[in-house]
Amino acid sequence: MQSRRILLVTGDLMASSRLAGVVRGGGGTLEVQATPDGVAAGSSYDVVLVDIQSCSDPAAAIGRLRAVASPQGAVIAFGPHVWKERLEAAVAAGADAAASRGEVLEGLATLLDRVTRQGPMQRRVAARCWRAWRRCSTA
């Protein structure tokens, strides 16, 4: 993992501690905020990870957090795997990708490499394909 400035929005202290170790081990820096409201305007991050369980309105949170992602930055929403519809809604609201909590906790380095290797346009196309696949797989 290359050096990245990452924002993690979650109220889960166990998850934040675990992810901090992964990010620091890869040479990155991690800032943790319990809610989107705690993020300073004017900040800029390479990656923004959003725990949708920590947001009362995930769509609004993603819109607000998109503003603190760098122009090439990615916004990744995550939450319980059983929240398929909410994860899809997060992508529809502007997240570049969505993942289950397990995917983030167990494979953060791989997820970050995959998402940040793609440009913004590629991420948006991939997100649309992901939504279409999810609709087909649950039908």
In this model, does residue 126 exceed pLDDT 70? no
- What's the topology of domain 5-138? Rossmann fold (3.40.50)
The residue behind tokens 């913004």 is: 120
Helix (H, G, I), strand (E, B) or coil at 92: helix
Residue with tokens 């998109």: 66
Give domain limits for the chain.
5-138
Query: Tens digit of pLDDT for each residue in 36-50?
Result: 888 888 889 999 999
Residues constituting the chain: 139
Query: Which is it for the CA torsion 36, 38, 44, 48, positive or negative?
Result: negative
Pure H helices in 26-100: 58-66, 84-92
Q: Which residues contact 16 (CB under 8 A, 6 or more apart)?
A: 8, 10, 30, 32
Give me the amino acid identity at 18.
R
Residues 52-107 have pLDDT tens digits of 998 889 899 998 999 999 888 889 999 998 888 889 889 999 998 899 998 898 88
List the alpha helices (DSSP H) in the chain: 13-25, 58-66, 84-92, 101-117, 120-138
